[in-house]
Chains A and B, each alone.
Chain A
Amino acid sequence: MAQDNKVATLDNEGMGNKSVSLWQMTWRRLFRRRSAVVGMVILGILVLIALTAQWLAPYDPIVPMMDLNPPEPGKQRQAPCIHLLGCPEDQPQHIAGIDGNVRDEFSRLLYGTRVSLWIGLSTVTFAIIIGTILGALSGYFGGWVDNSIMRVMDVLLAFPSLLLAIAIVTVLGPGLTNALLAIGIVSIPSYARVVRASVLSVREMDYVSATRALGGSNFDILFRRILPNAMTPLIVQGTLGIATAILDAAALSFLGLGAQPPMPEWGSMLGSERNQVFTAPHLVFYPGFAIMLTVLSFNLLGDGLRDALDPRLAHST
Chain B
Amino acid sequence: MIQYILRRIVTAIPVLFGILLVTFALARIIPGDPCRAILGEKATDAVCDRFIREKGLDKPILTQFGIYIKEMTRGDFGQSIRLGLPVTRLLAERLPTTVELSFSALVLSLIVGIPLGIISAVKHNSWIDVVTMVWANMGVSMPVFWLGLMLAYVFSLLLKDTPFWLPPSGRISPGIPNDPVAQVWGLALPESGFLTGLFDFIGRMNILNALLTANWVLLKDAVNHLILPAVALGTIPMALIARMARSSMLDVLGQDYIRTARAKGLAYKNVILKHAFRNSLLPLVTVIGLSLGSLLGGAVLTETIFGLSGVGRTLYEAITARDYGIVQAFTVVIAVFFVVLNLLVDISYAYLDPRIRLN
> Is the A/B pair a real complex?
yes
Chain A residues close to B by CB (< 8 Å): 35, 151-152, 154-156, 158-164, 166-168, 170-171, 173, 243, 247, 250-251, 254-257, 267, 270-271, 274, 277-278, 281, 284-285, 287-289, 291-293, 295-296, 299-300, 303
Query: How many residue pairs at the A-B interface have CB separations less than 8 Å?
Result: 141
- Contact assessment for B149 and A163 in the assembled complex, using a CB-CB cutoff below 8 Å: no
- Which residue from chain A places its CB closest to the CB of B296 in the assembled complex? A160
Chain B residues close to A by CB (< 8 Å): 14-16, 18-19, 21-23, 26-27, 29-31, 133, 137-138, 140-147, 149-150, 152-153, 156-157, 292-294, 296-298, 300-301, 304-305, 315-316, 319-320, 324, 327, 331, 334-335, 338-339, 342
Query: A155-B22, A292-B146 in contact; A170/B140 too (CB < 8 A)?
Result: no
Q: Whole-angstrom distance between the alpha carbons of A250 and B145 in the complex? A: 10
Q: Which residues of B contact A166 (CB under 8 A)?
A: 300, 315, 319
- Contact assessment for B145 and A171 in the assembled complex, using a CB-CB cutoff below 8 Å: no
- Contact assessment for A292 and B137 in the assembled complex, using a CB-CB cutoff below 8 Å: no
Q: How far is the CB of B228 from chain A (nearest CB, A)?
A: 13
For the complex of A and B, the 4 pairs showing the least CB-CB separation, nearest first, are A288-B146, A155-B18, A162-B297, A295-B141
A291 interface neighbour in B140, B143, B297, Cβ under 8 Å: B143
- Which residue from chain B places its CB closest to the CB of A243 in the assembled complex? B141
Query: A166-B300, A167-B23 in contact; A274/B145 too (CB < 8 A)?
Result: yes
Q: Which residues of A contact B22 (CB under 8 A)?
A: 155-156, 159
- Contact assessment for A161 and B19 in the assembled complex, using a CB-CB cutoff below 8 Å: no
B338 interface neighbour in A35, A159, A247, Cβ under 8 Å: A159
Question: What's the dominant secondary structure at chain B's contact region?
Answer: helix
Q: Whole-angstrom distance between the alpha carbons of A267 and B144 in the complex? A: 11
- Contact assessment for A257 and B142 in the assembled complex, using a CB-CB cutoff below 8 Å: no
- Which residue from chain B places its CB closest to the CB of A288 in the assembled complex? B146
Q: Whole-angstrom distance between the alpha carbons of A220 and B141 in the complex? A: 40
Q: How far is the CB of B351 from chain A (nearest CB, A)?
A: 22
Q: Which residues of B contact A247 (CB under 8 A)?
A: 141, 143
Q: Which residues of A contact B149 (CB under 8 A)?
A: 270, 274, 277, 284, 288
- Contact assessment for B140 and A254 in the assembled complex, using a CB-CB cutoff below 8 Å: no
Interface centre among B144, B147, B149, B293 (most CB of A within 10 A): B149
Q: Whole-angstrom distance between the alpha carbons of A255 and B304 in the complex? A: 9
Q: Which residues of B contact A161 (CB under 8 A)?
A: 293, 297
- Contact assessment for A270 and B145 in the assembled complex, using a CB-CB cutoff below 8 Å: yes
- Contact assessment for A292 and B141 in the assembled complex, using a CB-CB cutoff below 8 Å: yes
Query: A167-B23, A171-B29, A296-B138 in contact; A155/B15 too (CB < 8 A)?
Result: yes
- Contact assessment for B327 and A167 in the assembled complex, using a CB-CB cutoff below 8 Å: yes
Q: Whole-angstrom distance between the alpha carbons of A247 and B142 in the complex? A: 8
Q: Whole-angstrom distance between the alpha carbons of A199 and B157 in the complex? A: 55
Q: Whole-angstrom distance between the alpha carbons of A152 and B14 in the complex? A: 10
- Contact assessment for A284 and B18 in the assembled complex, using a CB-CB cutoff below 8 Å: no
Q: Whole-angstrom distance between the alpha carbons of A278 and B141 in the complex? A: 24
- Which residue from chain A places its CB closest to the CB of B298 in the assembled complex? A162
- Contact assessment for B297 and A158 in the assembled complex, using a CB-CB cutoff below 8 Å: no
Q: Which residues of A contact B145 (CB under 8 A)?
A: 251, 254, 270-271, 274, 288
- Contact assessment for B297 and A296 in the assembled complex, using a CB-CB cutoff below 8 Å: no
Q: How far is the CB of B79 from chain A (nearest CB, A)?
A: 18
- Contact assessment for A171 and B30 in the assembled complex, using a CB-CB cutoff below 8 Å: yes
Q: List 24 A-B contacts (CB under 8 A).
A: A154-B18, A155-B15, A155-B22, A158-B16, A159-B338, A160-B297, A162-B300, A163-B334, A164-B335, A166-B300, A166-B319, A167-B327, A170-B26, A170-B30, A171-B26, A247-B141, A251-B143, A251-B144, A251-B297, A288-B146, A292-B141, A292-B142, A295-B141, A295-B142
Q: Whole-angstrom distance between the alpha carbons of A300 and B133 in the complex? A: 11
Q: Which residues of B contact A289 (CB under 8 A)?
A: 146
Query: A168-B26, A255-B300, A284-B146 in contact; A163/B141 too (CB < 8 A)?
Result: no
